[in-house]
Amino acid sequence: MRDPRADFPILGEPVHGRRLVYLDSAATTQKPRQVIEAVADYYRRLNANVHRGAYDLAVRATEAYEDARAAVAAFVGAPDPRGVVFVRGTTEALNLAASSLGRLKVRAGDGIVVTAMEHHSNLIPWQLLAQERAARLEMVELTPQGELDVDGYRRALERRPKIVAFTHVSNVLGTINPVAELARLAHEAGAVVVVDGAQAVPHLAVNVAELGADLYAFSGHKMLGPMGVGVLVGTPELLDAMPPYHGGGEMIRTVQDTTATYAPIPHKFEAGTPNVAGAVGLKAAIAYLGALGMAEVAAHERALTGYARERLAAIEGLRLYGPEERAGVVSFTLADIHPHDLATIVDSEGVAIRAGHHCAQPLMRRLDVPATARASFYVYNTREDVDALAGALEKARALFGYARA
Amino acid sequence: MRDPRADFPILGEPVHGRRLVYLDSAATTQKPRQVIEAVADYYRRLNANVHRGAYDLAVRATEAYEDARAAVAAFVGAPDPRGVVFVRGTTEALNLAASSLGRLKVRAGDGIVVTAMEHHSNLIPWQLLAQERAARLEMVELTPQGELDVDGYRRALERRPKIVAFTHVSNVLGTINPVAELARLAHEAGAVVVVDGAQAVPHLAVNVAELGADLYAFSGHKMLGPMGVGVLVGTPELLDAMPPYHGGGEMIRTVQDTTATYAPIPHKFEAGTPNVAGAVGLKAAIAYLGALGMAEVAAHERALTGYARERLAAIEGLRLYGPEERAGVVSFTLADIHPHDLATIVDSEGVAIRAGHHCAQPLMRRLDVPATARASFYVYNTREDVDALAGALEKARALFGYARA
Amino acid sequence: MPEAEGDGLAELYQELILDHYRRPRNQGSLEAHTSRVALANPTCGDELELDLLLEGGTIRDVRFSGHGCSISQASASMMTQLIKGKTLDEARRLAARFSEMMRGSADAAHDRALGEARALAGVARFPVRVKCALLGWSALEESTRDHP
Amino acid sequence: MPEAEGDGLAELYQELILDHYRRPRNQGSLEAHTSRVALANPTCGDELELDLLLEGGTIRDVRFSGHGCSISQASASMMTQLIKGKTLDEARRLAARFSEMMRGSADAAHDRALGEARALAGVARFPVRVKCALLGWSALEESTRDHP
Ligand SMILES: Cc1ncc(COP(=O)(O)O)c(C=O)c1O
Ligand SMILES: Cc1ncc(COP(=O)(O)O)c(C=O)c1O
């Protein structure tokens, strides 16, 4: 993969007088100037509201917006751009899914299956739905290695749940779930499959059609795109059948005083003025990733993650979580130093890592830790970044009174 | 008011080889370079995910986000920034309000009151809620002048509805509703008051505390801000009592496998990664409007609207809709020329106006037209823009075979 | 046919189109109809209802009503002229041809089979208006979807 | 007190603080308590439970449990030392003083009334960590809110 660092202005901004070593891309990624410029350029040249204007600017803004939709569809292998719904991010996508699918499918006593490695965004919407509908929410456990317990998953399917929701890639352990297999099993059991792709689309070549997910969610801001734009991809048949989510402008066909009929997909799910600039920026991010090559991106991360696991494992008292085979996320704890203290200490060396429960409290309980420290990698990270992290962790050990190994 | 046109790069972009005369600010406004730069600068210098990081960048991003919240609170007179919830836009704000208030307040047979001048975004969410809860949705009619029928409104209140939702300013007629009085009456009847401020906050000095609205919604993109950010302002007491909307990261306190407790406001309503760059851009827009002076902005629009009404009324066959006293929105029809044709024709002169039902089909039925043409004004518009519109409308008359007056 | 020139507006609003807009042919409804389809263009609020009387695969009669811009009304009016008396297959061929013209095909724009509807060739230069010109044809498509 | 220097980390993680982190004073729970309050910092997952035994406006005994970073644990530990045996009014005055120190007040940072808790003055330089240092004090505030 070509070295893209020069494209990221923020990497030139010193932190505490040091070079920024940004290792928190699982939370949000930095943006290349190509994306920053695409957004600015949209506002400078073709900003207008979409879908409603008979004038030139509105036509061009609408084209830009629909081009972005087509680019997203192509990037994730969605056969039909009508299956691409723009939302704010993964969280909104999953709430939309839970709310609309819930009304379509879930009655009292019905089952909904999630896993113990879900981000809160793929858990709380199902909790709320289960509470509202008096449905049964079941959580599939993990193996000691931090992989999904597929036997437990099969058992959960025997009760024929209406909906199965799981993450493609764990944001804590890096575990990559066998989505195609899990989806096939769920379909055999008659369930609709909802996949949280927030940590997958940025890092792996994803093809939703091959995976067989009925609904698939991800965020633009985690894949070099702007904040405030994300995607729910669905099969047109399912989206067609689902009742609308938000009511408002753009999503209607005709409106009477107390009733309305709705527009075809995807517009049925896009009430109100969308984030057109965000979609345009996401398209630029997709073009950027496409030029790097998703296979190369994945290989780069794999190499870096392997190196990081090696370097970190050599630190005395450091414990790594999660399976060997994984995406570019490394969670760890170090002796009795609380992850929050670790984050503060490595920050003083310019190294940005995350500490906490990573919005995955059920998983934390299973790991039997209140929190972990997490380093996550992306296209702009290097082996030097890993070295900087390792060095900063040694400093933490020293501050907490541990002798150098 | 100082002339701000030089700040708007898009106004220098020719349309069909002509100067752009942008008269569709009620749909979305153009952006000054100060806002475009604020967004780009955020990504270049301090982008990170908020509220979760122990490192320097995350702290600075969080500060920027919370500073934006404080700026919004100050701009609309919200006494407490905790009452400012960031959303995508007015539509999401109103859907949040309907969903959460619905669960808090509305049981079968309860009443919800709206008006016949609502934008679909302040109607469909209440329709959906009424259908879901078997509640009664009542629509207050308008006077022939296009103002709210306050007697009808009082009668509707006699049935003691749980929720009253109305717009501050009509996006079609420009009618400015007497929000403070309407809110007082609704409160006396025991109702919660939800106000759609999408067309008010950009154009008038708004003070939500003085108005007495319990919930008040508006969009950043209609007030020089970026797309993908908007606001629901509420009294902290009401927001505290309201159940959460989206489930996900950031909005929780603790999460068990099948239940969770929620964070205090405003975070309870801000699940997932927010549009931090959008909030930062909105703050820049507020600073820009503040420097122009909202009183000056309102006066500028008033003068321009008066001039436009005068110029347009002089065109033979042209019919204006709505009251004399109004915000900077002018809806009209011209002889038998369909508004859509009008928009196409004036576009060829570089003049961007909107044609259609303006997401207000119930109002269109009451005006007894399928559509109107609409010109709307903002800080960058001038008398020359109005002249260009009037000239282009004469061209439309000529094309449709009407003799020059 | 006039060639597109200048801003294209003179072609868009040529007399024949305005004539169909102001005096639509085959306007109204058919008491005896075999199909009735109502369509709306949610963007601009145009509405159109199309009644067909089909007999043995032939369009015996056709009427339309509704309201909308000059393009949608004129196009529907011209369409009714074209399809009356035609077989379903012929009508579908015309619809396909008209679509091609809307996508800018010069060949289609010179196809005499399209009759007066060729006056609408200039709409191709106004992408947002293409939907208007297609509204009547879309109603036709929906009316005949379930026929062989 | 050591003055802040360099990156402030040496001050933040000085021995006294690590000692309280590793050997918290007054840890555990009180079987006989007049209040029990559990608080969490949702950002980092720190959790803390504070038991108080109040008698006639005086804090007779206090214990805390939970888990969290060195700052939150050390701060809670130091707090329990400070407030044990104090009246509610005195404890509230200490809480206010501690807050001032967290907002950077040099005056508060030299107030002997804060005892060992003064070692936490350096936290003021780490804004995200201020919440950690305040967690125990927030639990105290919540425990005593309904008392006169
Ligand atoms: C696995 C996973 N799901 C969902 C989310 C939520 O994404 P967002 O905050 O963009 O809505 C995240 C990121 O925080 C994530 O890592
Ligand atoms: C009065 C009114 N309400 C609501 C909206 C919807 O705002 P948005 O599209 O930003 O959600 C608009 C603008 O389209 C409006 O004019």
The residue ranges of every structural domain in chain B are 5-28+294-399, 35-290
C-alpha Rg value of chain D to the nearest Å: 14
**Minimum-distance CB partner of B371 among C9, C45, C129:** C45
Characterise B95 by phi-psi region: left (phi > 0), alpha (psi -120 to 50), beta (else): alpha
Q: Residue A168 CA: which ligand is closest?
A: 1
DSSP B25: T
Q: Which of B40, B250, B353 sits opposite A36 (nearest CB)?
A: B40
Whether residue B317 lies within 8 A of chain C, CB to CB, comes out as no
- pLDDT single digits (tens) C82-120: 999 999 999 999 999 999 999 999 999 999 999 999 999
- H-assigned helices in B76-112: 90-105
pLDDT at B53: 74
Q: Do chains A and B touch (3 or more CB pairs under 8 A)?
A: yes
- Which residues have CB under 8 Å from A3's CB, separation 6+? A382
Instruction: Please tell me what DSSP assigns to residue B169.
Output: B
CA distances from A343 to A25, A399, D43, D123 (A): 15, 13, 13, 14
- Distance separating the N- and C-terminal Cα atoms of chain B: 35
Within 8 A of C66 by CB-CB distance, chain B residues are none
Are A305 and A313 in contact, with CB atoms under 8 Å apart?
no
Q: Span A103-115, mean pLDDT?
A: 98
pLDDT of A328 higher than 80: yes
A53 has pLDDT over 80: no
The verdict on A352 touching D (C-beta cutoff 8 Å) is: no
- Residue B115 Cβ contacting ligand 2 at under 6 Å: no
Rounded to the nearest whole angstrom, what is the distance from the C-alpha of residue A218 to the centroid of ligand 1?
8
End-to-end alpha carbon distance in chain D: 35
Residue C46 with chain B: CB contacts under 8 Å: 340, 370
Chain-centre distance for alpha carbon C52:
14
Chains D and B touch (3+ CB pairs under 8 A): yes
Q: What is the mean pLDDT of chain B?
A: 96
Q: Given the CA of residue B196, which atom of ligand 2 is nearest to it?
A: 3
Residues 136-175 of B with CB under 8 A from A: 137, 139
Cis before B9 (ω within 30) = no
- ∠ CA B177-B179-B182, nearest 5°, is 100
CA-to-CA separations, B283 to B5, B216, B272, B286, B288, in angstroms, rounded: 20, 18, 21, 5, 9
| CB contact A364 to D (< 8 Å) | yes
Q: Does D42 touch chain B (CB under 8 A)?
A: yes
Angle value at C-alpha C101, between C90 and C97, nearest 5 degrees? 15
In the predicted model, is pLDDT for residue D40 greater than 90?
A: no
Superfamily of domain B5-28+294-399: Aspartate Aminotransferase, domain 1 (3.90.1150.10)
Ligand 1 site residues (CB inside 6 A) read A 26, 89-91, 119, 121-122, 167, 171, 196, 198-199, 219, 230, 359; B 249, 272-273
pLDDT tens-digit series, residues C122-140: 999 998 899 999 999 999 9
**Cβ(B95) to ligand 2 under 6 A?**
no
Residue C128's pLDDT is: 84
- The phi, psi pair for B113, rounded to 5°, reads -115, 130
Instruction: Tell how far CA B148 is from the center of its chain.
Output: 18
Task: Report the SS3 class of residue B282.
Answer: helix
Residue C146 confidence (pLDDT) above 50: yes
State the smallest CA–CA distance between residue A54 and chain B in angstroms: 6
Residue D3 has what pLDDT?
Answer: 37
pLDDT at B405: 52
DSSP one-letter code for A218: E
CB pair distance less than 8 Å for A340 and D7: no
Substitution candidate for ligand 2 out of B87, B166, B171 with most atoms within 8 A of CB: B171
3-state secondary structure of C57: coil
Answer whether C42 sits within 8 Å of A252, measured CB to CB. yes
**Average of per-residue pLDDT across D86-101:** 96
Residue D148's pLDDT is 74
Place of tokens 């940072």: D109
Alpha-carbon span A257 to B169, nearest angstrom: 19
Side chain identity, residue A129? L
Q: Are A30 and A380 in contact (CB under 8 A)?
A: yes
Q: Look at residue C118 in the predicted model and tell me its pLDDT.
A: 97
Neighbouring CB atoms inside 10 A of A36's CB total 26
Answer yes or no: is pLDDT of C2 > 50.
no
Between chain B and chain C, how many beta carbons pairs sit less than 8 Å apart?
51
Distance CA(C136)–CA(D6), nearest Å, equals: 76
Contact present, A125 and A98 (Cβ < 8 Å): yes
Count of other CB atoms within 10 angstroms of residue A276: 28
Task: Report residue A342's pLDDT band, with 50, 70 and 90 as the boundaries.
Answer: very high
Q: C7 — contact with chain A (CB < 8 Å)?
A: no
CA angle, residues A295, A301, A307, in degrees to nearest 5: 140
Above 90 in pLDDT, residue B52? no
Q: In which element (H, E) is residue A376 found?
A: strand A372-376
- Residue A116: is its pLDDT beyond 60? yes
Strands (E), A99-179: 111-115, 136-140, 163-167
Q: A63 pLDDT exceeds 50? A: yes
CA distances from B247 to A125, B14, C67 (A): 5, 45, 44
pLDDT of the residue at B404: 63
Residue D2 has pLDDT above 60, yes or no: no
| Nearest chain D residue (CA) to A399 | D13
Nearest ligand for residue A251 CA: 2
Q: Would you state the pLDDT for residue B51?
A: 77
- At B57 the pLDDT is 93
CA–CA gap between residue C20 and residue B399 (Å, rounded): 15
Among A270, A273, A275, say which to mutate for ligand 2: greatest number of ligand atoms within 8 Å of CB.
Answer: A273
Q: Give tens-digit pLDDT for A266-315.
A: 999 999 999 999 999 999 999 999 999 999 999 999 999 999 999 999 99
Q: Where are the alpha helices (DSSP H) in B268-382?
A: 276-292, 294-313, 339-347, 361-367
Residue of B nearest to A357 (CA): B52
Q: Closest Cα of chain A to C60: distance in Å? A: 31
CB contact under 8 A, B341 and C18: no
Task: Answer whether residue D4 shows pLDDT above 50.
Answer: no
* Ligand with smallest separation from the Cα of B174: 2
Identity of the residue in D40, D127, D129 whose CB atom sits nearest the CB atom of B253: D40
Q: What is the pLDDT of chain C when averaged over all its residues? A: 92
Ligand 2 midpoint to CA C31 (Å): 42
A226 is written with which tokens? 């702007």
Q: Which residues is A68 bridged to in the sheet?
A: none
The DSSP call for residue B272 is S
A391 touches chain D (CB under 8 A): no
| Segments making up each domain of chain C, as ranges | 3-144
User: Are residues C80 and C62 in contact, defined by beta-carbon separation less than 8 angstroms?
Assistant: yes
**Active-site residue among A359, A375, A386, A393?**
A359
Q: What does the pLDDT look like over B246-282, one tens digit per residue?
A: 999 889 988 999 999 999 999 999 999 999 999 999 9
Chain B, 101 to 130: residues with Cβ < 8 Å from chain D are none
Among residues B266, B275, B271, which one has the least CA distance to residue B49?
A: B275
Flag whether pLDDT at D46 surpasses 90: no
Q: Which of C37, C39, C125, C128 best probes binding to A when mutated, by most A CB atoms within 10 angstroms? A: C128
Q: What is the mean pLDDT of chain A?
A: 96
- Residues of chain A found within 8 Å of residue C44, distances taken between Cβ atoms: 54
D33 interfaces chain B, CB cutoff of 8 Å:
no
With touching defined as 3 or more inter-chain CB pairs under 8 Å, the answer for chains B and C is yes
pLDDT (0 to 100) of residue A404: 64
For B51, which residue in chain D has the nearest alpha carbon?
D43
Nearest to A90 among B40, B250, B272 (CB): B272
| Residues in Cβ contact with A28 at an 8 Å cutoff, skipping those fewer than 6 apart | A221, A222, A227, B47, B48, B49, B273
The string of pLDDT tens digits covering residues B342-378 is 999 999 999 999 999 999 999 999 999 989 999 999 9
CB contacts of C127 in chain A (<8 Å) are 59
B35-290 placed in CATH 3.40.630.30: no
Tell me the CATH class for D3-144.
Answer: alpha beta
| Mean pLDDT, range B46-55, rounded to an integer | 86
Report percent pLDDT > 70 for chain B: 99
**What is the pLDDT at residue C127?**
85
Longest dimension (CA), chain D: 47
The residue-averaged pLDDT of B291-295 equals: 98
CA of B220 to the centre of ligand 2 (A): 10
Pocket test for ligand 1, best of A88, A92, A203, A222 (most atoms within 8 A of CB): A222
Find the CB nearest D42 among B54, B58, B263. Answer: B263
Which atom of ligand 2 is closest in space to residue B222's alpha carbon? 10
Q: Is the CB of B89 under 6 A from ligand 2?
A: yes
What pLDDT does residue C3 have? 37
Maximum separation of any 2 CA atoms in chain A, in Å: 75
